[in-house]
Amino acid sequence: MASKQTKDFKHFFALESLPEAGRKTATYGLVNRSSGLSIGVVKWYGSWRQFCFFPHPNTVWSAGCLKDVADVLRWAGARRKEAANETRE
């Protein structure tokens, strides 16, 4: 199994790469920086053809946290686009 890679992202959480067998696109776990608990997942949502956020139940989100999640979604989309461009070349 591949080791997990973690990227600090903004103030509220770190982003952890979650390898999933059979998926073509990356999946990322959001981990609370204070508690170390998983608070949600960012993964490709084929029906909408974009990365989406799937929060875990009973989590609470402030406007600042949600802004950071939106930044992660844009970042993940840009990474996917870069990878697609590299494979075309």
Kindly report, residue by residue over 53-72, the tens digit of the pLDDT: 999 999 999 998 899 999 99
Q: Does the reported pTM lie above 0.75?
A: yes
Question: Residues with Cβ < 8 Å from 41, sequence gap 6 or more?
Answer: 18, 27, 28, 29, 30, 53, 54, 56
Q: Report d(CA 32, CA 17) in Å as an integer.
A: 14
Kindly report, residue by residue over 22-65, the tens digit of the pLDDT: 888 889 999 988 899 999 999 999 999 999 999 999 999 999 88
pLDDT of residue 10: 64
Q: Give the start-to-end residue ranges of the domains of the chain.
A: 6-88
